[in-house]
Structure 1
Amino acid sequence: MAELTSAEEFVQFVRRWRSASGSVARSTAVAQLDSHLRRLKEAPSGTAETRRAFRIGAELADIVATMAWDEAAHGAAQRYFKLAAQLAHVASDDALASVALASLARHCFDLDRPADGLEVVQLAQYATRRTASPRLRAVLATREAWAHAQLGDAPAFRRTVRLAEDYFSEGLRDGDAATPSVRSLDEAELMGVTGARYRDLSRHDVRHAAEAQDYIGRAIALRDPDRVRNRVFDLVGLARSHLITREPERAAELIGMALPDAVPWTSGRVGVKLRDFHREAGAFATVPAVRDVREVVAAKLAV
């Protein structure tokens, strides 16, 4: 029991550390996961303690997968997300398994593979069709909407966003906000994810960019000050939407606001999004404010 408690404390510690600084080495988490997996081979089957141990392993695998993703080790990220889902399944935690699949789908979207991501989401939805809490249904609906946005299917996207918002509201009424496997989906995250997906949709129809700005603006207003990395994503996403609506000065201003907090994560996905901004802002390179902020981004990222 002491060993399990220690492992749970390590999971919580790494999540807090990454949220605060982004500086945890993947090798540290991998070593802990490998040690935990070796111990799982010795665990008796069917006991409550063993299920707890597999659940811890699933959370560790999910953390390692996210770290690998941040380091652009995409093959490793997918393997660890799948491992997380498998371990959660053995732990009889269908919600945690579905959240791991939702993360795998999100990774597929990041690799511009919306059809693959949609297939993974639908698998997660089917697996939890009878047991999912409203908040978990909301998480999975946001992932489904992500696929529709990348595919340019505006009617399906809007329909799924409405479902996500309805499920989220139902979850608030039912008091399931503290469920560990869906703890990251608060109102700010729902607004931010939806806004970013409207930005994806605006690549197919520029008229959706204004909706992206509305949703992301609400996310920024609602963000917990401790969720620094999420706020950086919001600001960069909002800046990119202002490029779409041909407001380069506002875009440059937003990137300037994001950069001081972005430094700890520039080697990961935050850096990828900043590179996307740098590339997309090239069309406005003669605008002084854009030129200046692109130079700062280039210096920080060695673009």
Structure 2
Amino acid sequence: MLAQLNELTDRLRDIGDGPNTQPAFLVGAELARIAASMSWDSGLHLAAQRYYSLAVQFAKVGGDATFAASTLAAFARHCFDLGQPGDGLELVQLAQYGARRAASPRLRSLLATREAWAYAQTGSVQPFRRAARLAEDHFAEDDPNGVDQNAHGLDVAELYGVLGARWRDLSVTSAQPQQARHAQDYIGRALVLRDPSFVRNRAFDLIGLARAHLVTAEPDRSCELIESALPIAATWSSGRVGEKLRDFYRESQRFGTSPKVRSTRDAVRDVISA
């Protein structure tokens, strides 16, 4: 796939105006975005950033503002994963401005979740609440039976899962552990609504909910959730799921005197070290 992208990129440098010009750039944008996601999953973060930038450039030349916006949203998420909320927020705001006329309610909802993500990482409680509320409001405006290729991954379960994880982040960065109760509520709803075939997403939900229970000092419940996640999480232990398990392992250390916690941490260590 990378070879195809490189070949297409070389060809696009010399392409002239014509009926196939914009479609060719949009194909390049799609390939670049896939390459970015693959690089991210492999831990190749600089490569991921280059491919995201390339995808946005191609989408703009191809005249698809909404694809550019959704790619910027993915790029922002990568920044958040690296602990760069300022950079991520700039990308989100660029996406919101660029797609202000063309974005569907669901895409606006997706962008609002990314904005909330930035505020959660900086402990900005009121801006976070505003952005999270907007994410739900925009989603409610959308046709539940409609299809938006630029926000196709955002169903109601994903919305609740993402917002729940952000409430957990906010509870830590704002030093307000009680905010994690919101996280438990939202992620709990996501687990109920999640399509059973979305196994990887379910693993994220379970790990996120477990980490929220650590914040509220409920290590036994946290360990129960992690143990239910491990059989499915092990498949993706080398990627982002593994990173979340490492977060749990680090955060659970303060409860390490508990036999239950020690046992669960040993099980997690076996998975992330495999």
Task: Name the TM tier (shorter chain).
Answer: over 0.9
Aligned to 1:162: 133
Question: Is residue 199 of structure 1 aligned with residue 171 of structure 2?
Answer: no
Distance 2:258 2:109 in 1: 41
Indicate which of 254, 260, 266 corresponds to 1:295.
266
- Tell me the residue number matched to 1:91: 62
Q: What is the Cα deviation at residue 41 of structure 1?
A: 4.3
Instruction: Report the TM-score, using the length of structure 2 for normalisation.
Output: 0.95
CA distance in structure 1 between the partners assigned to 2:230 and 2:5 by the alignment: 33
Distance in 2 (CA, whole Å) between partners of 1:160 and 1:251 is: 28
Tell whether 2:34 aligns with 1:59.
no
Aligned residue number for residue 142 of structure 1: 113
Instruction: Map 1:138-287 to 2 at 5 A.
Output: 138-172=109-143, 177-203=146-172, 204=174, 205-287=176-258
Residue type at the aligned position of 1:248: P
Question: Which of 107, 122, 127 is the aligned partner of 2:93?
Answer: 122
Write out per-residue CA displacement over residues 122-167 of structure 1, whole angstroms, 9 at most, x where no aligned residue.
1111111122111111111111011111111111111111111111
d(CA) in 2 for partners of 1:45, 1:287: 67
Deviation at 1:172, TM superposition (A): 2.3
Rounded to whole Å, the distance in 2 between the matches of 1:235 and 1:213 is: 10
Moved more, 288-297 or 96-105: 288-297
**Counterpart of 2:158 in 1: which secondary structure?**
helix
In 2, the alpha carbon distance for the partners of 1:228 and 1:38 equals 38
Distance 2:190 2:4 in 1: 34
Whichever residue aligns with residue 281 of structure 1, its letter is: S
Structure 2, unmatched stretches of 5+, are: none
Overall identity of the aligned pairs, in %: 56
Listed as ranges, the gaps of 5+ residues in structure 1 are 1-28
Question: 2:15 matched to 1:33?
Answer: no
**For residue 183 of structure 1, what is the amino acid of its counterpart?**
H
When the two chains are superposed, the root-mean-square deviation of aligned CA atoms in Å is 1.5
1:66 Cα deviation from its structure 2 partner:
1.2
Cα deviation, residue 44, structure 1: 4.4
**Number of positions where the alignment pairs a residue of Structure 1 with one of Structure 2:** 272
Shift of 1:43: 4.5
Q: Tell me, what secondary structure is at the counterpart of 2:150? A: helix
The AA in structure 1 aligned to 2:2 is: V
Match of 2:40 among 53, 57, 69: 69
Secondary structure at the counterpart of residue 78 of structure 2: helix
Matched to 2:225, the amino acid is L
Instruction: Please give the per-residue CA displacement for 1:152-192, whole angstroms capped at 9, x wherever unaligned.
Output: 1111111111111111111126x5x4121110111011000
CA displacement, residues 105-138 of structure 1 (integer Å, 9 cap, x when unaligned): 1111111111111111111111111221111111
TM-aligned CA deviation for residue 229 of structure 1 = 1.1
Partners of 1:110 and 1:143 lie apart in 2 by: 12
Superposition deviation, residue 231 in structure 1: 1.0
Question: Which secondary structure does the structure 2 equivalent of 1:258 belong to?
Answer: helix
Deviation at 1:36? 3.0
CA distance in 2, matches of 1:44, 1:221: 51
User: What code does the residue aligned with 1:71 have?
Assistant: S
Q: Give SS of 2:100's match.
A: coil
TM-score by length of 1: 0.86
Residue 55 of structure 1: how far off its partner (Å): 1.6
